[in-house]
Structure 1
Amino acid sequence: MRPTIVEIPEQNTAVAVPALQVLWPKYDAAEMGRIIDTMLRPNGYRLVGIVPKEGEPAACVMGFRLQHSLWLGKSLYIVDIATLPDWRGRGYASHMLDWAAKEAERLDCNALHLDSGVGPDRSDAHRLYMAKRYRIGCHHFVRKLG
């Protein structure tokens, strides 16, 4: 049975925070919720998740937004995807990626893309992306300021 993926509205951002903190542990819950709701959502960031039981944290979440570029045209960009450790191994991230592909098609996007960190701890995620037919399309360079 496929898990149900639901949109996580602004008034319920807190259910997504524990899974996102696995990906971004430098943020405490309050700061992360504030950033999502005051900076990311106003710029088109949406959250979806698998919430096993109402009132409990989402087991798996995905944050995404639409982008437009000369390279890809209109695309759905997966900003964040994370599963709580106790819920891993159930195929939830795979279901999220399938959902994202359908949503991208529904929104008439030309592409679906994401960035993923590098390192041995990311091997499982990279295997999943490759299995879902994602390919390394470019090198993403970052220059931090300050």
Structure 2
Amino acid sequence: MKIEELEAERTWLAFDPMRQLRPHLTSTGFVKLVNEVQRPQGYRLVGSWDGETGRVVAAVGFRESSSLAYGRHLLVDDLTTMPGMRGRGHATRLLAWVEREAKRLGCAQIHLDAGTHRHEAHRLYLRNGYIIPSFHFARRL
């Protein structure tokens, strides 16, 4: 299993796992959105390769952020693994990679949101030392 950051020219490698989490995106739309909108805002993308297929089967997208409540922290926007590859440690290793990067950058915390229906993801986060410090509210406009 290899984990490494994907620069702009390799964004497309993360599309297959990301479409599991964001099915409304096309491959072209995903690459364009990440490279033209999100990367300029500080978004970074890291992939986890399967040793047998040589393909990215899990990915995490995150960015540095700062707030009055949390200080300097990393915000995980996206973390996903291909369904057939779940349970093999890809997401756990990606979370460990993000934690090392957060420490390297001097961040005090890591934050992420998970949909209320994503029970497997909740178990993963809790097993990896994450807590549920608050509710996240949203309003559609």
- TM-score, structure 1 length as denominator? 0.91
Runs of 4+ in 1 over 2 A off after TM superposition: none
Report percent identity of matched pairs.
37
Give 1 or 2: higher strand fraction: 2
Letter of the 2:107 partner, please give it: C
Q: Separation in 2 of the partners of 1:9 and 1:86?
A: 25
Structure 1: which 5+ residue stretches go unaligned? Answer: none
1:129 aligned partner: 125
CA shift at 1:56, angstroms? 5.5
Q: Name the SS for the 2:88 alignment partner.
A: coil
CA shift at 1:95, angstroms? 0.7
Structure 2: which 5+ residue stretches go unaligned? Answer: none
Deviation string 1:65-123 (CA, Å, 9 cap, x unpaired) is 0001011100011110011112111011011111111111111101011000012xx11
Residues 18 and 57 in structure 1, CA contact (< 8 A), matched pair in contact too: no
CA shift at 1:133, angstroms? 1.2
Alpha-carbon RMSD: 1.4
Residues 15 and 56 in structure 1, CA contact (< 8 A), matched pair in contact too: no
Deviation string 1:45-64 (CA, Å, 9 cap, x unpaired) is 000011236x9541110000
Q: Separation in 1 of the partners of 2:96 and 2:3?
A: 11
- TM-score, structure 2 length as denominator? 0.94
Q: Name the SS for the 2:25 alignment partner.
A: coil
Q: Name the SS for the 1:109 alignment partner.
A: coil
1:35 aligned partner: 33
In structure 2, which of residues 123, 137, 140 is the aligned counterpart of residue 141 of structure 1? 137
Aligned residue pair count: 140
